[in-house]
Structure 1
Amino acid sequence: MNPLLVKICGQTSQEGARLCATLGANLLGFIFHPGSARFVSPGLPASLKLPGVLKVGVFVEQSVNETAALMRAGRLDLAQLHGGQDRGFCRALGDILGPERIIKVIWPERAANLAGFQAELDEFGPLCGRFLADAGAGGGGHGRGIADAAAKLLAQARFPRPWLLAGGLGPQSIGPALAQFRQGVCPPAGLDLNSGVESAPGIKNETLLREAFAAINAHCAA
């Protein structure tokens, strides 16, 4: 079994989700942000029965109660908070779901220094089960990797929870991205893939997916 967790985000169809699960995805992401080209209703994840695969709802602007309601309607396992939700939001949602079901997104590119970034991790560590580090200074879907200076912060930080690496990851960039953290303090526990394995927004490409998994396997075997 691959030691790295693999999350394929931006699922928009039953067929695409089943393909990703068959190829080895551990987590599937479903985006509930109306502004996204990959926006879906909770009916899609609710209709999927994929043993051993965790279904993740991605939330940006919803309230605590709206997020909890979508989690129930979609029969979702985890909630990914991708809108800069603050400590109070995370605590309130954790009181409903349990903090272990929360993935808190962070943006290392907006950190001024390692001390400030570490303080953010320590602040949210008790309120979530995992972190996800994304490119840019907010939002998602940037289609590029995390900047070098921010990657250095990630490699030096002491994560109180396992974390996933995101940011424009595809077959050609997975190996170099992971290599940055081989000697890091807390290497990533997994990867989050989206646009880098698509032929169009929301349309996962089987060839790119297979190549991505091959790149992950090659890195883990090295």
Structure 2
Amino acid sequence: MTTVKICGLKDTETVRSVLHLPIDHIGFLFAKSKRQVTPAQAGEMVKVIHRSRERGNRVPLTVGVFVDPSEQQLAEVMREAPIDVIQLHGSEDAAFCKWVRDTYRVQVYRVCSVDNQSAQTIEEALAPYAGCIDGLLLDTAGGGTGRTFEWNRIPDYLAWTNRCGIPLLVAGGLHPDNVEELLEAYAPDGVDVSSGVETDGVKDISKITAFVERVKRHESHASA
């Protein structure tokens, strides 16, 4: 199954509007961004998701996106908005990832900005993270650019995540019109979208629905 992550949600109304869709992760940005939310804002959205879970509904995991967070920032967020996954998008080393996972008993996803590293360099860079993270997410260098990276780099990372038994998610410039192409060519374990399902900087429910439907359509064709 290909997982779907919708990132950068900012209000409870949007959260309620997407909970009926087969989305696996909902992401909240705590790093500096036009989509940044406060711990209190995220807490209100997390409450909406938890209430839906309590009613017996299938709900997505909540993901907090950070860039080189301090221990104080993490503590404040986890107090106000107890999330399921902490996604680290900065220069965090393997020891910090392990500390976060052990301290908060959450999953940790490490983001890797894709550049022109060789396969050997990729192996060397990722080796310390084996056993310290629960998922790897590839994004365009710089993050939040709305641009794709060179997808032919994906197999090198996918080989590593397969050996480690963790999922590989792909972000960076995805939208409803190119996600099936990515899935057909490279079959990552999950996809992550933010600006690609927005209109004028605001999450567009019709675009989110189209994105999810096209991921699921690819799944049904692949299994046929």
The CA RMSD measured in Å over matched residues stands at: 1.9
State the alpha-carbon separation in 2 of the partners of residues 158 and 14 from structure 1: 34
How many Å apart are 1:176 and its aligned residue?
A: 0.9
Maintained 8 Å contact 1:58/1:81: yes
Instruction: Give the Cα–Cα distance (whole angstroms) in 1 for the partners of residues 205 and 156 of structure 2.
Output: 33
Relative to the length of structure 1, the TM-score reads 0.86
Which of 175, 183, 187 is the equivalent residue of 2:180? 175
| Matches of 1:158 and 1:9, distance apart in 2 | 22
Asked if residue 87 in structure 1 is aligned to residue 87 in structure 2, the reply is no
Q: Paired residue for 2:134?
A: 129
How far 1:44 sits from its partner (Å)?
A: 2.3
Matched residue, 2:199: 199
Deviates more, 1:171-180 or 1:39-48: 39-48
Deviation at 1:207, TM superposition (A): 1.5
With over 3 angstroms needed to count, the CA separation of the structure-2 counterparts of 1:145 and 1:11, relative to structure 1, is same
Q: Which amino acid is 1:145 matched to?
A: T
What's the secondary structure of 1:192's corresponding residue?
Answer: strand
Equivalenced residues, count: 209
Q: Give yes or no for contact 2:111–2:139 (8 Å, CA) kept in 1.
A: yes
Q: Give the letter aligned to residue 156 of structure 2.
A: L
The whole-number CA distance in structure 1 between the counterparts of 2:134 and 2:161 is 15
Q: Residues 67-106 of structure 1 correspond to what in structure 2 (within 5 A)?
A: 67-98=74-105, 101-106=107-112
Whose helix fraction is larger, Structure 1's or Structure 2's? 2
SS of structure 2 residue aligned to 1:128: coil
Offset at residue 118 of structure 1 (A): 2.4
Contact 1:8 1:20 in 2 (8 A): no
Partner of 1:185: none
Q: Which amino acid aligns with 1:74?
A: A
Assess, with a 3 A threshold, how the Cα gap between structure 1 residues 83 and 214 changes in structure 2: closer, same or farther.
Answer: same
Q: 1:143 matched to which residue of 2?
A: 146
1:36 match: 33
How much identity, in percent, do the aligned residues show?
29
Distance 1:90 1:158, change over 3 A: closer
